[in-house]
Amino acid sequence: MPDKAIAKLKERQEKQLSVLGGQKQRQLLRLSQIATRQQNLNQQLQQLSSEFAVSGALALQNRGDIHAQLIPRKHKLEKEKQLAEAESSRVNQLWQQTLSKRQGLHWLQQNREEMRREQHRRQEQKQTDESAARSASNRNRY
C-alpha cells in the first residue's frame, strides 16, 4: 500500500474517531439523563408509598391513580436505559476498533519510515565503503 494511501486512510480513521467520540459523549449524557429521571421517579414512588396519613377514600384513590401512572413510566425508563446502554456499548466498540486500526496504520507508517532511514543509512555506508575501496585501489596503483 502506498504511503499516500496509508496517510489518507489514517486521516479517515482520525475523522471517524472524532465522530465516534462525539457519539460516545452524547450516549454518556443520555445515560446520565436517564439515570437522573429514574432517580426522580423512584423518589416520587417512594414518597407516594411513604405517605401513610391518608385522610379518606378519595386520597387513597388519587394515590393509586398516581402510582398506576408512575409504574409504566418506570418500566419505560428501564427499557430506554437498556437501549441506551446497548447503543453506548456499540459505539464504544466501534470507537475501540477504529482506534486500533488507526494505531495499526500509525505503526505501519513509523515502520516504513524506519525502514527508509535504515536503507538510506546502508546506501550511505555502501557509498563510503566503495569510495574507500577506490581510494585504496588508487593508492596501490601508484
Domain edges within the chain: 3-141
Would you say 24 and 90 are in contact if contact means Cβ atoms under 8 Å apart?
A: no
pLDDT tens sequence across 77-123:
999 999 999 999 999 999 999 999 999 999 999 999 999 999 999 99
C-alpha cell at 54: 391518608
**pTM of the full predicted structure?**
0.69
Indicate the Cα dihedral angle 112, 113, 114, 118, nearest 10°.
Answer: 100
The CA–CA distances, whole Å, from 134 to 8, 120, 127, 139, 142 equal: 45, 21, 10, 9, 13
Axis-axis angle for helices 3-50, 57-141 (nearest 10)? 160
Higher pLDDT, 59 or 111: 111
Mean per-residue pLDDT over the chain, rounded: 89
Please give the grid coordinates belonging to residue 43: 423518589
Who wins on pLDDT, 51 or 117?
Answer: 117
Q: Specify the pLDDT at position 137.
A: 83
Alpha-carbon distance of 71 to 74, in angstroms, equals 5
Residue 52 has pLDDT above 70, yes or no: no
Mean per-residue pLDDT for 14-31? 96
**Contact criterion met (CB below 8 Å) for 38 and 74:** yes
What is the band of 60 on the pLDDT scale with cuts at 50, 70, 90?
A: low
